[in-house]
C-alpha cells in the first residue's frame, strides 16, 4: 500500500508568481485535505476535497484554490504569491470525509517565496 506522496519536495518562487503543488492520496482514499504549516506553527487547514468537489474551506483567501481528479489525487494552486506564503504545505488523505476518519499525511512541499 502506497502512502501519501507530494511533489515537488522543495520550491522557490518570487512574489507575484503562481505555484501548483501536487498530492497523490493513499490507495482507496477519496478525501484530501491541504494544510499550511508556517515556521514554528502547527498546520492550518486550507481546504478539503471529497470526490472532486471542495468540501470545506479554512480561513484562506481565494487565491488559494484546488482541484481533485477522478483518481482522487489533488492539486493546490496559489496565485499572486506573497512572502507570507512561505511555509510547508501538507496534504492528508482519508478513507472518507467526516470527523471519524483518520487523516494520513504526506511529507510536504517546502515553498519559499522571495
Partner 1 sequence: AQSVSQHNHHVILSEAASLELGCNYSYGGTVNLFWYVQYPGQHLQLLLKYFSGDPLVKGIKGFEAEFIKSKFSFNLRKPSVQWSDTAEYFCAVNAPLYSGYSTLTFGKGTMLLVSP
Residues at the contact surface with partner 1, assessed by CB under 8 A: 33, 35, 40-45, 48, 50, 55-56, 58, 90, 92, 97-100, 102-108
* Minimum CB–partner distance for residue 56 and partner 1 (Å): 4
* Minimum CB–partner distance for residue 108 and partner 1 (Å): 6
- Cβ closest to partner 1, residue 72 vs residue 81: 72
Pairing assessment for the beta strands 31-37 and 87-94 based on DSSP bridges: antiparallel
Question: What is the distance between the alpha carbons of residues 60 and 47, in angstroms, rounded to a whole number?
Answer: 8
* Minimum CB–partner distance for residue 88 and partner 1 (Å): 10
- Cβ closest to partner 1, residue 33 vs residue 81: 33
- Cβ closest to partner 1, residue 6 vs residue 78: 6
Are 102 and 1 in contact by the 8 Å Cβ rule? The answer is no
Question: What is the distance between the alpha carbons of residues 101 and 44, in angstroms, rounded to a whole number?
Answer: 18
Q: How many CB atoms lie within 10 A of CB 8?
A: 12
C-alpha cell recorded at residue 19: 505555484
- Cβ closest to partner 1, residue 81 vs residue 89: 89
Amino acid at each position: 500500500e502506497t502512502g501519501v506522496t507530494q511533489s515537488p519536495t522543495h520550491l522557490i518562487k518570487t512574489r507575484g508568481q503562481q505555484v501548483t503543488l501536487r498530492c497523490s492520496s493513499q490507495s482507496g482514499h477519496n478525501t484530501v485535505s491541504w494544510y499550511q504549516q508556517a515556521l514554528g506553527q502547527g498546520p492550518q487547514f486550507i481546504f478539503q476535497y471529497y470526490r472532486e468537489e471542495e468540501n470545506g474551506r479554512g480561513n484562506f483567501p481565494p487565491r488559494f484554490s484546488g482541484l481533485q481528479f477522478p483518481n482522487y489525487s489533488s492539486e493546490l494552486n496559489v496565485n499572486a504569491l506573497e512572502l507570507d506564503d512561505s511555509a510547508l504545505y501538507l496534504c492528508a488523505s482519508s478513507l472518507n470525509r467526516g470527523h471519524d476518519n483518520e487523516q494520513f499525511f504526506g511529507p510536504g512541499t517546502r515553498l519559499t517565496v522571495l
